[in-house]
Amino acid sequence: MPRQPRRQESGLTYHVFAKAVREERLYRDDFDRIEFLRLLGETVHAFGWICHAYCEMTTHYHALLTTTEPNIAAGMQSLNSRHAEYFNRRHGVTGHLFSSRYGDVVVEGDGHFLSEYRYITRNPVAAGLCDEPDQWRWSSYRATLGLIRTPPFLTSDRTLLLFSKSSEKALGQLRRFVDGTPSKEAA
């Protein structure tokens, strides 16, 4: 049965993810992770996307992206193929790096956006890679909280404004939301 065409429209937000073939490592070391983030940044810029969040795991990655043009498929094909080419060249291997085409979830509304954001940022905790989401070095969450320098391709505006117009208040509410601490003020 043929695959269903992907929903592609300008202004849609997607939770995208891609897994390595045979559950192998998508990144063998920090250099691979840094290069993937460089490629993600270039792709965000080239395709006019807005990147709200990302998380590099061991065998896969996640990103929360909004498109300004109906180009999610072309951009993801570019990102994944460029990373696979880099990976194979650097490590002297051939063949597929990704198990299949990328997966995506079209995000519908603010509540769904926050749910996907929380899922992405908590993924390393769920996988047992760290105890708290802000401990995972390969996630955008630390930058959103202001713990590290924000990559030029990452924006936190939409995420924080869903909690408060006050940056300080929004950061506290976001942290409580992601960490799972109940808050009467969280959206």
What pLDDT, on the 0 to 100 scale, is given for residue 6? 81
Residue 172 has pLDDT above 90, yes or no: yes
What pLDDT, on the 0 to 100 scale, is given for residue 185? 37
- Read off the pLDDT of residues 12-68 as tens digits, 9 standing for 90 and up: 999 999 999 988 999 999 999 999 999 999 999 999 999 999 999 999 999 999 999
Q: Give me the CATH number covering residue 96.
A: 3.30.70.1290
Position 184 in a domain: no
Position 72 in a domain: yes
Residue with tokens 């192998």: 24
Domain of 159?
13-179
CB 84 within 8 A of CB 96: yes
Position 7 in a domain: no
pTM exceeds 0.85: yes
Q: What DSSP designation does 102 have?
A: P
Residue 1 has pLDDT above 90, yes or no: no
Position 164 in a domain: yes
Structural domain tally of the chain? 1
Give the integer Cα–Cα distance in Å for 116 and 120.
Answer: 6
Determine phi and psi for 51, rounding to 5 degrees: -100, 120
pLDDT confidence of 180, banded at 50, 70, 90?
confident
- Read off the pLDDT of residues 72-113 as tens digits, 9 standing for 90 and up: 999 999 999 999 999 999 999 999 999 989 999 999 999 999
Position 1 in a domain: no
